[in-house]
Amino acid sequence: MIRARFWRHACAAAVLVAACSRNPRPAAPAPAAADSAAARQRADSLVAAVRRDSLAAFARRDSLARAQAVADSLARAMAERARADSVRAQVLRAPDSAAATLVASGLEAARAAALAEPLYFELDRSDLTAEAQRRLDGKLAILRASPRLEIQIEGHCDDRGSDEYNLALGNRRAAAVKRYLVEHGVADARIGIISYGEERPADPGHTEEAWARNRRAEFRLTRGVR
């Protein structure tokens, strides 16, 4: 009985050992994690290189754009200086052309000088000051006494502000002068207006006094008294 039990246990142990010996050993883990980390590192490296190249290209473009902006600014400044020199030369050549033309139209010298006398405006304003209205009243008497006389009113500005703004402001100044004359009895058809903006300064300087002399309306003859 004991011997039979022993042999049964021995056989069972032998079967178990045989079964265990047939199971394959687990395979060594593949180096997938290491390969994945290396791939990520390579990808990160490539992204960093692309980013560096992109930043360098942007810096080059920005530098070129700034250089072009400086060149454009210098070109504009040179053009403005040339235009100012041209206007200055024109003003110096014919400082009294308005009065001289009015005298040639048949007006006596005193009346021609009074009619040619400019009106002045406050900074960035087109409304008439009390002094401007007083001078216009003197011009009204001349225009009423010479009904054939026709004039053009020129609006001018100082050189502060854009060209477009100053042209519009000069036009408002000329229109305000014409409106005053028409409202006081001068026929609308006898008066034309034009704006020169900052293009024809009376004084080419860049001081408060020069700017004040440039904010004006001038009077030109378009038809004489004869």
Query: Does 29 have pLDDT greater than 70?
Result: no
Q: How high is the pLDDT of residue 102?
A: 57
pTM over 0.85: no
> pLDDT band at 87, cuts 50/70/90?
very low
User: What's the mean pLDDT in 69-97?
Assistant: 59
Go through the domains of the chain in sequence order and give each one's CATH number: 96-223 (3.30.1330.60)
Cα 133 to Cα 138: distance, rounded to the nearest angstrom: 9
In contact, 120 and 212? CB cutoff 8 Å: yes
Q: In what order do the strands lie in the sheet with 119-120?
A: 119-120, 216-223, 150-156, 191-197
Structure tokens at 186: 């001068």
Q: Crossing angle, helix 130-145 and helix 163-183, to 10 degrees?
A: 60
Which range of 3-12, 89-98, 113-122 scores highest in mean pLDDT? It is 113-122
Residue 197: how many CB atoms within 10 A of its CB?
A: 21
Cα 47 to Cα 44: distance, rounded to the nearest angstrom: 5
User: What's the mean pLDDT in 43-52?
Assistant: 78
Q: Which of 183, 170, 161 is nearest to 126 (CA)?
A: 170
Query: Does 24 have pLDDT greater than 70?
Result: no
Which range of 9-18, 27-36, 174-183 scores highest in mean pLDDT? It is 174-183
> pLDDT band at 82, cuts 50/70/90?
low
